[in-house]
Structure 1
Amino acid sequence: MTDSSEKKASAPDPVEISQAMTHIAERSQRLVMDFLEHQDPHALGLSDPLNIGKAFMDMTSKMMADPGKIMKAQMDLWQAYMTLWQTTASRMMGATAQPVAATEHGDRRFKDAAWNENVVFDYIKQSYLLTAEWMQRTVHEVEGLDDKTRRKVDFYTKQFADAVAPSNFVMTNPEVLRETIESGGENLLKGLENLLEDLERGKGKLSIKMVDEDAFKIGENVATTPGKVVFQNDLMQLIQYSPTTETVHRRPLLIVPPWINKFYILDLREKNSFIRWAVGQGITVFIVSWVNPDAELAAKSFEDYMMEGPLAALDAIEQATGEREINAIGYCIGGTLMASTLAYMTAKKDDRIKSITFFTTMVDFTEAGELSVFIDEAQLGALEDRMNKDGYLDGRAMATTFNMLRANDLIWSFVVNNYLMGKEPFPFDLLYWNSDSTRMPAAMHSFYLRRMYQENKLVEPGGITLCGVPIDLTTVKLPTFMLSTREDHIAPWKSTYAATQLYKGPVKFVLAMSGHIAGVVNPPTDKPKYGYWTKSGRAPKDPEKWLAGATAHEGSWWPEWKAWLDKHGGGQVPARVPGDGKLKALEDAPGSYVAVKAGD
């Protein structure tokens, strides 16, 4: 009897494949025709909204100017192929051989046993890895390109390399072939149905379903920490959470999350809710729940987000608790807003915020990472035209941009699972939140992208003006806790680290493992998943120097932050119940603003 590992590694029978594919073709023709009959003929049109054509034309012209270098690159690839052919031939004859090209740590595309144990699929895998690495290296080494063009060419070359991986195609993915034979092709038929459903949901544009959305409901099994909405305006609802301790810090905590996503990333499930944990540590927690804006809020500006967001929340917290002084957290763009707000408050001699924590926040956009690929004049102009027409940026467009930063995990893995394997996506709270996108008001988003991402004016003293006040981040002298994450594709840690040289108060910088979300949502557990680094003393200018001298710790950074915050808590007072102060409860947490979907 053949054991399971041998079965997994065996090559499929070509006759069975042919029969299955013929069966699929006959049945799928009807499905496709039914779909096309009720489609807008213009809905499936192609265009170049990302304006990458010119970048690759520039790259090609520079590359062709040095034919000797092209020849050397081709010879290098040929020699690598020759080595691979030799090792493959050795394996076919029963010998063992070290791989010529190996997958990177964490690459889950080739996890099936056949990719290593079956000689044919091992050859396909290594051929792809050699070619992809060669292609990306060759493009990156082209001389004479400006930084923006090089960054764009590198990014889209990697996107192409990811797209053509053999794992993404039926005939070169052993796991898919096995499923096709065993199910008689039902996986591909189900996958085609999934594909057509996603196209219909996206109104002609592919909207990949990443999660079983029926498995979650806001307020029932995500965003469940008890509390009340105690204040609201056009842009936000303010939630005050119910205490679970007899005493609390005298100073309440205000959390200002990003409005590019919804706040409940910090309140997913009981076991990983930062909000529930913070409440349990004896902190009166307030959080801003941003509105999901429509065309009526098109004119809302970055200034409005400051005035109707954190500044309005400060006034409301004082009414709700009687406490004038607070501590605050800003997450991602919410942190960028808080940094601007603190500079504004300093100019106004407003000292109500006594400490500030930043989660993965950029204020210096000199090295903005891969997102800068999407920020140039041509793309901004096209984006503004679309926003001015609709009054907002559709949240799904923003979600697609973020997904491209981790295409193998957030795009191609679902293409394989949903369309090739014909399976439904898993019920995963983080992916449910990721799919729950938000819209951006036209005026605010244009200001943010141009003045900060493109022009990097926030880091210049007086570079931007909010409500008539020139913003100077160097005037911020509060005790500051900065959390960054080492594998962050959205706010690269070395870019966020630059702020340690701006703020004039005592700065504690902490670097967590993992990325923009998982590195933040990392609760204390018996089996810690990620660790973090700390370093005492003033942060040096060079982030690598900081890391070289930092101390590694196992487990969650949350207790590290709590120990820091205790120094700024202002003593203990009896716990406060939402609605007992001057602000009465309007509705139960998580409120109604968070329930609005981008498609509503």
Structure 2
Amino acid sequence: MFFPIDYKKSMEELVDLNKKMIKGTDIMLSLEKKDVDVAPTPKELIYQEDKMKLYHYKPIKKDVNTIPTVIVYALVNRQYMMDLQEKNSVIKRWLELGLDVYIVDWGYPDKSDKYITMEDYIYGYMDNAINKVMEINNVDEINLLGVCQGGTFSAIYSALFPEKIKNLVTMVAPFDFDTKDGLLFHWSDYMDVDNLVDAHGVIPADFMNFGFLMLRPFSLTMDKYVGFLDNADNPEVVKDFLRMERWIFDSPDQAGEAFRKFIKELYQENKLIKNELQLGGRTVDLKNIDMPLLNVYAEKDHLVPPAASKPLNDVVSSKDKELVSIKGGHIGIYVGSKSQKEVAPKVADWLNERSTKKTTKKSSSSASSSGSSSKAKSTSSKSTSSKSSSSSSKSTSTNSSTSKTSSGSKSSSSKKGSEEEK
């Protein structure tokens, strides 16, 4: 069968494409680093422990929610995806809607962090950061918002310390790992994570990135670049494209021991949803989650399919719980137009309706003086091995002279391997 070719139209399209490529090249050559900067929303460092940093975003409104909101992002990517650019920053939108926002930056693990465990992340860094926010704001409870793996960590933390959480928000986070809807869940079943961690100690970011790209090889390695050419002559499109590329490949390594436990006991053995996960000698019982819960999932999520997120609402004790479906993908719900029109307003309105300030019974001075002792109690699982591996790192705070809390008990498995924070 003969298909006639319109040679004139084909040549016009070819010439047009060449013009766009030339214009796009000129645009990229003219750009400076500041032109594609990320994380534009102003913030200040208020606490640091080893490589973990806690930031506070400067409020935009005079009247802000009196219950602070702490965001915990995944280890496998950088948290500034939520503040990639000013016009589509979900962080900035939350500030405009009156939330008082803090965010945890896990940093970039190196070889000295190979013995860092999930206990260190949750009982140690995460708990210390939350304690600091409560101390600064003189409150007993905070709003906890977890994204992706950070949502899994947030659910675990809320089950262990329900008295500290006023409201829990989880976004595109996995809880039931016994699903075959996502290719990532298939692969993890056959991963020899012990050999991987024992060989590398710290899992290279390039290994993780390659795996994520292979989940959708055509669209993530070819199609997006072909699509980019159609708009290569638009300076704003070029800048947005480069910002996203920067985020995709700005991935931290993974601390081996935490990676080992997360893959084996969650992905492969699905212990979390069964209430069988042991952390620092304690059982993580999701029924302990009794605070209001907002669980947000993305309908087209290829990394965390809805089947992995939705079951959380069935196992918690919360009477006030809501499951929200967003039409979009794992990242698209944060950087697309829906982030401004649907996602950010939904989360902010939900939190604002449920957040009434509950001040501590202690005065500010007494809270400050007793801060170290309270932290020591809640971070008792920080291991000696992780301290020795990163002994050169110090805990610092810009707003307080509180010293780094000591820790005593940690599972012996932390001596076997390492996980990179990515």
Q: Which interval holds the TM-score relative to the shorter structure?
A: 0.7 to 0.9
Q: Deviations over 1:207-264 (max 9, x none)?
A: xxxxx79958589731121111111112410001111222221110000011110010
For residue 268 of structure 2, what is the aligned residue in structure 1? 454
Contact preservation (8 Å) 1:356, 1:481:
yes
Match of 2:142 among 326, 341, 364: 326
Tell me by how many angstroms 1:473 deviates.
0.8
**What is the aligned partner in structure 1 of residue 195 from structure 2?**
385
Gaps spanning 5+ residues in structure 2: where? 23-27, 360-366, 369-396, 401-419
Matches within 5 A, 1:308-457: 308-346=124-162, 351-368=163-180, 369-377=182-190, 380-381=191-192, 383-413=193-223, 426-427=238-239, 428=241, 429-457=243-271
1:308 deviates by: 2.7
Secondary structure at the residue paired with 1:244?
A: coil
Corresponding residue for residue 386 of structure 2: none
State the Cα deviation string for residues 19-55 of structure 1 (Å, max 9, x = none): xxxxxxxxxxxxxxxxxxxxxxxxxxxxxxxxxxxxx
Is residue 291 of structure 2 the alignment partner of residue 481 of structure 1?
no
1:358-385 per-position Cα deviation (integer Å, ceiling 9, x unaligned)? 00011111115110232134xx22x543
> 1: distance between equivalents of 2:259 and 2:75?
11
TM alignment of 1:229-378, pairs within 5 A? 229-346=45-162, 351-368=163-180, 369-377=182-190
Higher RCO structure, 1 or 2 (CA under 8 Å, sep 6+): 2
Alpha-carbon distance in structure 2 between the residues aligned to 1:374 and 1:560 = 34
Normalised by the length of structure 2, the TM-score is 0.74
Following TM superposition, by how much is the alpha carbon of 1:560 offset from its aligned partner in structure 2, in angstroms?
2.1
User: Using the alignment, how far apart are the partners of 1:440 and 1:416 within structure 2?
Assistant: 31
Whole-Å separation in 2 of the counterparts to 1:175 and 1:403: 32
**Which amino acid is the alignment partner of residue 507 of structure 1?**
K
Structure 2 distance, partners of 1:519, 1:365, is 22
Deviations 1:308-360 (A, max 9, x none): 332111111123222222111000000101111111124xxxx1111000000
Distance 2:298 2:133 in 1: 30
Whether the 8 Å contact between 1:293 and 1:440 is mirrored in structure 2 is yes
Distance 2:296 2:30 in 1: 34
Instruction: Report the residue type matching 2:316 in the other structure.
Output: Y
Corresponding residue for 1:469? 282
The Cα of 1:520 is off from its aligned counterpart by: 3.3
Q: Deviations over 1:542-588 (max 9, x none)?
A: xxxxxxxxxxxxx4232222221112221599xxxxxxx975359xx
Mark the CA change 1:447 to 1:226 in structure 2 (over 3 Å): closer, same or farther: same
CA distance in 2, matches of 1:391, 1:231: 28
SS in 1 for 2:123: helix
Q: Does the Cα contact within 8 Å between 1:294 and 1:391 map onto a contact in 2?
A: no
Q: What aligned pairs does 1:169-248 form with structure 2 within 5 A after superposition?
A: 221-248=37-64
Q: CA deviation at 1:522?
A: 4.2
Q: Is the 8 A contact 1:485 1:520 kept in 2?
A: no
Q: Residues 521-541 of structure 1, C-alpha deviation per residue, up to 9 Å, x if partnerless?
A: 345xxxxx589xxxxxxxxxx
Runs of 4+ in 1 over 6 A off after TM superposition: none
Alignment check: 8 A CA contact 2:313 2:321 kept? yes
Q: Which amino acid aligns with 1:483?
A: V
Root-mean-square deviation (CA), in Å? 3.6
How far did 1:389 drift?
3.0
TM-score, length of structure 1 as denominator length: 0.53
Secondary structure of 1:567 counterpart: helix
Measured in 2, the distance between the counterparts of 1:314 and 1:321 equals 11
User: CA deviation digits over 1:41-83, x for unaligned, max 9?
Assistant: xxxxxxxxxxxxxxxxxxxxxxxxxxxxxxxxxxxxxxxxxxx
Opposite residue 563 of structure 1, the aligned amino acid is: D
Q: Which amino acid aligns with 1:402?
A: F
Q: Is the 8 A contact 1:364 1:458 kept in 2?
A: yes
Instruction: Answer whether contact 2:94 2:345 (CA < 8 A) is retained.
Output: no
* Aligned match of 2:25: none
Q: For the residues of structure 1 that align with 2:184 and 2:351, how far apart are their CA atoms? A: 32
| Structure 1 residue runs without a partner (length 5+) | 1-88, 93-117, 122-173, 191-211, 524-528, 532-554, 574-580, 587-597
Aligned residue type for 2:41: T
Q: Distance in 2 between the 1:218 and 1:504 partners? A: 48
C-alpha spacing 1:273/1:467, structure 2 compared with 1 (3 Å): same
Distance 1:413 1:585, change over 3 A: farther
Q: How do 1:430-579 and structure 2 match up within 5 A?
A: 430-461=244-275, 463-505=276-318, 506-522=320-336, 555-571=341-357
For residues 5 and 273 of structure 2, the distance between their equivalents in structure 1, rounded to whole angstroms, comes to 54
Secondary structure of the structure 2 residue equivalent to 1:300: coil
User: Could you tell me whether the CA contact under 8 Å between 1:224 and 1:269 is conserved in 2?
Assistant: yes
Which whole-Å deviations, capped at 9, do the CAs of 1:158-204 have from their partners, x for residues lacking one?
Answer: xxxxxxxxxxxxxxxx989x859x98xxx9xx9xxxxxxxxxxxxxx
Q: Tell me the equivalent position of 1:167.
A: none
Question: Residues 406 and 340 from structure 1, CA distance in 2 versus in 1: closer, same or farther, beyond 3 angstroms?
Answer: same
Question: 1:504 corresponds to which letter in structure 2?
Answer: S
Q: Which amino acid aligns with 1:239?
A: Y
Q: Determine helix, strand or coil for the equivalent of 2:64.
A: strand
Deviation at 1:413, TM superposition (A): 2.4
Distance verdict in 2 for CA 1:396–1:454, change over 3 Å: same
SS of match in other structure, 1:556? helix
Q: 2:101 & 2:95 partners in 1: Cα distance?
A: 6
Asked whether the equivalents of residues 99 and 352 of structure 2 are also in contact (C-alpha less than 8 Å), the reply is no
Question: Residues 102-181 of structure 1 correspond to what in structure 2 (within 5 A)?
Answer: none
Residue 329 of structure 1 aligns to a residue whose secondary structure is strand
Q: Name the SS for the 1:452 alignment partner.
A: helix
